[in-house]
Amino acid sequence: MNVITIDHPLMAHKIAKLRDKNTDPKMFREYVEEITTLLTYEAFKDIPTVEVEVETPLQVTKQRVVEHEVAIIPILRAGLGMVNGVHALFPIARVGHIGMFRNEETLQPELYYCKLPEGIENMTAVILDPMLATGGSCVAAIDLLKKRGVKHIKCLHVIAAPEGIDVVHKTHPDVQIYCAAVDQGLNEASYILPGLGDAGDRLFGTK
């Protein structure tokens, strides 16, 4: 399957801290950003580059630079907590926003806001959502980007459930998923177990 999990002791350590219910919002945000930076490094190993001439103090040499612009697309609101983690490696990347909420009766995502960078069809778009649970919001975001002509899409998640991975891959097998951990599955309310609770609430201290 087109999913990459980062198996590294530092990642495991940060995930353990995130899961701890006693981790306060400040530290939770910091761990999410650090995990996102590690995911970004892995996710963009294959980003297209082009050779350019660079003049050093001693001579002219050819070096590789990133060819495609990067667009960061957090799914509101929890995805906002991952933005700085990508900006750590792509500081001039533009940011779009997709706002969705889960209908508690149908469990389906409903779009309430969308603002994307101009020319996004020529960029590599990275969708940010800490928790890939049912996969509904992620699929809806990918659908939206593809309708705008985006051809290069990657998804970054802190925690993923097998059910969400399956849904994304069945709908969009060309999209790569990068995550720090794949958990055991969803409970009857479609929350990830063991998970880490509601990422948005823990990021912003709203519960």
How far apart are the C-alpha atoms of 158 and 192, rounded to whole Å?
Answer: 12
- Rg from Cα positions in the chain: 17
Q: Which of 102, 134, 166, 202 is catalytic?
A: 102
| Residue 106 annotated to the active site | yes
Helix crossing, 9-19 with 25-43: angle to 10°? 150
| Residue 29 annotated to the active site | no
CA angle 3, 174, 33 (to 5 degrees): 45
Q: Which of 5, 106, 134, 183 is catalytic?
A: 106
| Residue 201 annotated to the active site | yes
| Residue 148 annotated to the active site | no
Q: Which of 94, 198, 202, 206 is catalytic?
A: 198
52: burial class by Cβ within 10 Å (0-12, 13-18, 19+)?
exposed
Q: Which of 23, 37, 94, 201 is catalytic?
A: 201
Give catalytic residue positions.
102, 106, 198, 201
